[in-house]
Amino acid sequence: MNEEQLQAVVDRSSFNRWLGMKVVSVGESNLTLRISWRDELISSPERQSIHGGVIAALVDCAADYVIAADVGHAVPTIDLHIDYHRIALPGDLEVEASITHLGSTLGVATAKVTDAQGKLVASGRGLYMTGARPLSPPPAAAN
């Protein structure tokens, strides 16, 4: 899949659209996604830090979609592990994911979330069911 095709897959999810998730690049076994800072993402008003659930969603989505770009469709998450390294302060976040293993039944991908200064915020690994096929074509995303 190219960036435009993968963006269409990402945009099928209203949650991803709410996050403002954008596909920055898609390579052979890697991709980069970005979300822009907004107040709705804050978990601690005192610290102005982004909620850990948003960061976990970035790791999961990037790891899932790097596999999806290869197999042609989004895949269900079986297991997800997140390590938080620092607080995500105001500014855009980017997540880079790469495929570790891709089999006919299972796939593994890793992802790293960085802040606007390029500092590592979180990293993680996901296990995905690559053998799962969509039951029907997904509905078109609403704009």
- Tell me the mean pLDDT in the region 81-93: 94
H-state helical runs in the chain: 3-11, 14-19, 52-71
Q: What confidence score (pLDDT) does residue 1 get?
A: 82
Q: What confidence score (pLDDT) does residue 142 get?
A: 55
Highest CATH level, class, for 3-129: alpha beta
Is the pLDDT assigned to residue 73 strictly greater than 90?
no
Q: What confidence score (pLDDT) does residue 141 get?
A: 56
Rounded Cα–Cα distance for residues 41 and 38 (Å): 6
Contact 103, 130 (CB under 8 A): yes
Q: What confidence score (pLDDT) does residue 43 get?
A: 87
Contact 84, 97 (CB under 8 A): no
Half-sphere exposure of 134 (CA within 13 A, CB side): 10
Is the pLDDT assigned to residue 48 strictly greater than 90?
no
Q: What confidence score (pLDDT) does residue 103 get?
A: 93
Q: What confidence score (pLDDT) does residue 74 get?
A: 83
What global pTM score does this model have?
0.88
In the chain, domain spans: 3-129
CA distances 88 to 15, 55, 117, Å, are 20, 8, 10
